[in-house]
Structure 1
């Protein structure tokens, strides 16, 4: 029997979980001529792997070499191993290391719908929006590829799998589709947004800082076709930490703990970009969200942005495109997501209840699985029941166009 305290937390809608793509995603969907060059899984030894200064650098060994064996995604010149950090749930913190693994060493819920739903039940989670793994958080893998024709097919194949299989009938409406786009072409990106919106997708991955990927900034007009498509289809632009392929760090020899402490930094920079770009005024129905960025930093950034706009907008280059205080644009347009941010919750009035979403980060090492409800109880026990309901599910229902029961209804 549940205690009254447990009843205070409604079923969670997590807006930041992750899927580890099964080995057949691209092999089953690409034309046969790409079977030997499209993304495929190869089992091979690890030669070397480092993660310093925010840079992940694995090296695959040759057959017969010594070293731990893992499953590797191979695509063009890219060799990307599956690692324990991709799927760490079920392991104690001290057991989670930067090491290669095979599918058999993963928790099945990482890549299988049936087991995912079972793990969601254990964790008091009703529905979940899942970011990619091999494509990276906004499809950078295919953006960096040499063959853009194949890259576009890979993007479309991933989205077909995401909508039709991962979020298909077996998911019972509990998995919410999150497509990627061909970032290298805004017109193609707009077309892919519209293609997926027509079958019910209401969110899309994007980079927090596109110039880090060698792409135009949000201050340019290059992205306008994509932004227009998102606005017209009511598609939310979802940006995950690391979606610029450059995790925050301070030096080339800084240990991963430095970057892990300041993971929110790119979200901070990105939000200021959007607030000072004028794009949210040019596209008044556009909405964006930041996944895994937490929320505690938001009040000061809004305060500082308002001061700069009030005192320096003339020489600051924004007077002609930012016509209201940035904090006004923020309201109900930009959404921060958290899973462990007691400080942010203490300053909820300065952020706005309507701008906050909840996440569990399954199956990553930061995940609160299988105790997300207990974590929520500890952090949100001081809040009124209606506020808790808005944070853990109500805001997500409104933002992602879910049913009143919190489920994805597809294109119907």
Structure 2
């Protein structure tokens, strides 16, 4: 009998990567009147065509009266983005999940409704959860691409107000943990937004895994320093989700989605090496970063290779003057890998670090382990002792995100 089998209860899960599908009126209720016709809003319209190849999603909205399946579409300036079954797939069998447009009426209510979300969390043995956005994309790229910067900034702030005051508001009872956005196009404005939200108890902010893919500076530059300083000072964790560079890994323009889905961790791998070789952890010693949905099995070799390069090649490798410790040591102090289904990584936990691993359920996406996240965890962690399981499933997240001992967001300070 394993140590896990000796325990009476698998710990209540703190998921560091779930998702919210924003209700239709988030921005219409918060933007100034002059922006209501160009700000985010929802219309029901037919789908003309839609492809997802080579990591690129291309939907085309039809006109009123056109034939085609009806879906709810987000409109923002010139953007037309439909809700799809991949945004909210829980409750459907794997074989029923297709790339298709849907309406709010066709999705599970827990995707956008707080009481229903709490009910679905109860079904899945989940105590609390961090939720990434849907329409803004995983780090607010939608608003970064806005032609009107004033509108983009107002949209970021409106989303954050909704996230803190409503999604994570009183009816959530501390079980939903806020994750906010920043205006990625201006590091000073980003720093101000981090501090504004930290003042009301927020401890996590979304960021891009590879900013240059968005036309933004890399973490090797000094451009992000105001933002990083704000995170360092406030204890705000930088959360990077796969796809937050708006470029999912793929191999060719005609590669089917299955190729990209297999190698989703790749951008996390590249990003982590960027951070470890950037010198930012030396300059900002309180900085913490986490990789949502990146899984963890790839981490040991990357750390091994990074240490070899740092030891043998740092002189000509351009890092001798700014990276003064082995990358694996920096990882241990600053980086967290997040997983929902990674038996291989758990078998190699000693090479990663028990304190650097967080659990997630990915509700309501197609990859989600809902409603069997507990069963998946029990099966994959059966070889681990109870204390290690407790750290992975809840305690690491409690420490990182400043939660109560019971795993709840304490709310505004």
Scaled to the shorter chain, the TM-score interval is: over 0.9
For the pair 1:234 / 2:235, whether they are aligned, the reply is yes
Query: Which residue of 2 is the match for residue 207 of structure 1?
Result: 208
Partner Cα distance (2:412, 2:318) in 1 = 42
Contact 1:8-1:385 at 8 Å conserved across structures = no
> How far apart are 1:4 and its partner, in Å?
6.2
Query: Which residue of 2 is the match for residue 342 of structure 1?
Result: 343
Please, what TM-score do these two structures have when normalized by structure 2?
Answer: 0.98
Partner Cα distance (1:204, 1:410) in 2 = 16
Query: Which residue of 2 is the match for residue 252 of structure 1?
Result: 253
For the pair 1:364 / 2:368, whether they are aligned, the reply is no
Partner Cα distance (2:133, 2:408) in 1 = 20
Partner Cα distance (1:217, 1:165) in 2 = 33
Contact 2:7-2:386 at 8 Å conserved across structures = no
Contact 1:180-1:205 at 8 Å conserved across structures = yes
Please, what TM-score do these two structures have when normalized by structure 1?
Answer: 0.99
Deviations 1:119-148 (A, max 9, x none): 000000000000000000000000001000
For the pair 1:40 / 2:41, whether they are aligned, the reply is yes
Deviations 1:268-319 (A, max 9, x none): 0000000000001110110000000000000000000000000100110000
Query: Which residue of 2 is the match for residue 82 of structure 1?
Result: 83
Q: Which runs of 5+ in 2 are unaligned?
A: none
> How far apart are 1:9 and its partner, in Å?
1.3
Q: Which runs of 5+ in 1 are unaligned?
A: none
For the pair 1:107 / 2:146, whether they are aligned, the reply is no
Partner Cα distance (1:208, 1:128) in 2 = 21
User: CA 1:4–1:216 in 2, change beyond 3 Å: closer, same or farther?
Assistant: same
Give 3-state SS (helix, strand or coil) of 1:313's partner: helix
Partner Cα distance (1:185, 1:354) in 2 = 33
Partner Cα distance (1:335, 1:260) in 2 = 21
User: CA 1:321–1:124 in 2, change beyond 3 Å: closer, same or farther?
Assistant: same
After TM superposition, the structure 1 = structure 2 runs for residues 106-125 of structure 1, keeping only pairs within 5 Å, are: 106-125=107-126
Partner Cα distance (1:318, 1:232) in 2 = 25
Give 3-state SS (helix, strand or coil) of 1:332's partner: helix
Partner Cα distance (2:76, 2:6) in 1 = 49
Query: Which residue of 2 is the match for residue 384 of structure 1?
Result: 385
Partner Cα distance (1:25, 1:309) in 2 = 47
Contact 2:13-2:128 at 8 Å conserved across structures = yes
Query: Which residue of 2 is the match for residue 142 of structure 1?
Result: 143
Partner Cα distance (1:193, 1:6) in 2 = 40
Partner Cα distance (2:51, 2:236) in 1 = 37
User: CA 1:372–1:5 in 2, change beyond 3 Å: closer, same or farther?
Assistant: farther
Partner Cα distance (1:346, 1:4) in 2 = 17
Partner Cα distance (2:5, 2:117) in 1 = 27
> How far apart are 1:33 and its partner, in Å?
1.1
> How far apart are 1:52 and its partner, in Å?
0.1
Query: Which residue of 1 is the match for residue 27 of structure 2?
Result: 26
Query: Which residue of 1 is the match for residue 308 of structure 2?
Result: 307
Partner Cα distance (2:191, 2:80) in 1 = 29
Contact 2:128-2:408 at 8 Å conserved across structures = yes
Partner Cα distance (1:347, 1:157) in 2 = 42
> How far apart are 1:6 and its partner, in Å?
7.7
Query: Which residue of 2 is the match for residue 157 of structure 1?
Result: 158
Partner Cα distance (2:315, 2:211) in 1 = 26
Partner Cα distance (2:126, 2:411) in 1 = 19
> How far apart are 1:410 and its partner, in Å?
1.3
Partner Cα distance (1:26, 1:298) in 2 = 39
Query: Which residue of 2 is the match for residue 191 of structure 1?
Result: 192
Contact 1:5-1:377 at 8 Å conserved across structures = no
Two-structure CA RMSD over aligned residues (Å) = 0.9
Contact 1:249-1:259 at 8 Å conserved across structures = yes
